[in-house]
Amino acid sequence: MIRSLKDTEKALVEDDPVRPHIPYEKRFEDGRNVIALEEDGNVVAIVCTALCNDVPLTEEEMFNYANPCGDILVAYTVWSYSRGAGRTIINTLRECAIDDNCSKLVTLSPLTEMAEKFHIRNGAKLLRKGGICQNFEYDL
C-alpha cells in the first residue's frame, strides 16, 4: 500500500540519500508529495514527487515548474529500507500516474551509475543528461 508520509514519520526524510537538504515542509508544497510504501505496518520505501508543467533538469527548475495542476509526475528522490522495495514503489507510482492521467512519469536523478542502473533495470529510458542531473522516463 502506498500513502502520503505522515507528520509523525517526518524523521524518515532525514534518510534521503539524494536530497537531504530539502526541508520536510517544502516537500509538500505546490503539487509535491512524499509517498511511503508500507508493508505489514512498516515503511519500506519512500519516493518524493512533484507534479510539474514541464520536465525539470535541475532542482531549481523542479521547484519553478511544480504545479498542483501539472500533468508530468516527477520522482526526484527514492530510497528503500528493504530489498526490492524501491522497485515496488516506482512500479506502484507508475500505476498511480496512469490512473491519474499523467502525461509522463520522469525522474530527476543524480548523475550516478547507481541511479542509472536502478532506473534502466526497472524499465525506464534515459531521456536526457544535464550538468548535475539526468532524467529517465517510464512508459505510461
pLDDT tens digits, one per residue of 32-60: 999 999 999 999 999 999 999 999 999 99
At residue 117, the pLDDT reads: 95
At residue 128, the pLDDT reads: 96
Contact 136, 109 (CB under 8 A): yes
pTM over 0.75? The answer is yes
Closest CA to 92 of 14, 35, 21: 35
Task: Count the alpha carbons within 13 Å of 18 in the hemisphere toward its beta carbon.
Answer: 22
Domain 2-138 in CATH 3.40.630.150? The answer is yes
Residue 15: what are its φ and ψ, rounded to 5°?
A: -85, -5
pLDDT tens digits, one per residue of 119-131: 999 999 999 999 9
Grid coordinates in use for 62?
Answer: 523542479
Q: What is the mean pLDDT of residues 62-82?
A: 97
pLDDT band at 3 (very low <50, low <70, confident <90, very high): very high
How much of the chain exceeds pLDDT 70, in percent? 100
Q: What is the mean pLDDT of residues 14-33?
A: 95
At residue 81, the pLDDT reads: 97
At residue 11, the pLDDT reads: 95
Contact 45, 88 (CB under 8 A): yes
At residue 88, the pLDDT reads: 97
pLDDT tens digits, one per residue of 81-140: 999 999 999 999 999 999 999 999 999 999 999 999 999 999 999 999 999 999 999 999
Instruction: Report d(CA 14, CA 22) in Å as an integer.
Output: 9
